[in-house]
Amino acid sequence: MEEKTFIESEDKTAKTGKAYTRFKDNTGIWFSCFEAEITKKIQEHFNQRVMVELAITDKFKNIRGFDRVLDNNAPHIEKVIPQAVETIQPQAVKKPSKYQDNERMASILLAYAKDLACANNAPLVDFTKVVYAEYKKLKTQLENE
């Protein structure tokens, strides 16, 4: 079922001699309807949003059924056609270089030393030496594990 608003119609005759009606929607696309009962319902609801069953091929766009008239205050329903999804290949995560690791650690240690100095109302130099010495001990322990 698809939502359509038909704004125009014209009666036609097929090559086989069968009568049918063509309906133009508000986007300018023409659809054919071969059933009189469906044609009558659509003509009763020109310029109104309706739900219809469509059969669309490369050559034809036919109306096969009439479902209902939609409330004009209801939100517009658009048909979503799934499309192929492009897969993204995962990229290898780059490890930071030793230089980047050391810079990051130096920044963390300096911040820690500042916190200690502020908390103890002491010079920063004293705590920087202590924190760096503790860092060296910890790094040695981790490398030996």
Domain CATH for 14? 2.40.50
Q: What is the pLDDT of residues 85-106, one digit of tens each?
A: 666 677 776 665 655 666 777 7
Encoded amino acid at 24, one letter: K
Question: Is residue 90 a part of any domain in this protein?
Answer: no
Instruction: State the Cα–Cα distance between residues 129 and 125, nearest whole angstrom.
Output: 6
Say whether 103 sits in a helix, a strand or coil.
helix
Alpha-carbon Rg for the chain in angstroms: 37
Q: Is residue 76 part of a domain?
A: no
Q: Is residue 89 part of a domain?
A: no
Domain with 124, as residue range(s), is 98-144
Q: Judge if 7 and 65 occupy the same domain.
A: yes
Does 104 fall in a domain? Answer: yes
**pLDDT of 80 strictly over 50:** no
Name the token pair of 87.
Answer: 């897969």
Is the domain of 22 the same as that of 64? yes
| Same domain (yes/no): 17, 64 | yes
Q: What single letter denotes the amino acid at residue 3?
A: E
Res. 71 pLDDT band, cuts 50 70 90: confident
Label residue 25 by pLDDT band (50, 70, 90).
Answer: very high
Q: Is residue 43 part of a domain?
A: yes
Query: Among residues 26, 27, 79, which one has the least CA distance to residue 54?
Result: 79
Give the C-alpha separation, 49 to 142, whole Å.
71
pLDDT higher than 70, residue 60: yes
Is 77 domain-assigned? no
pLDDT in tens, 28-49: 999 999 999 999 999 999 988 8
Average pLDDT of the chain, as a whole number: 80
Same domain, 7 and 52: yes
3-state secondary structure of 26: coil
pTM recorded for the entire structure = 0.50
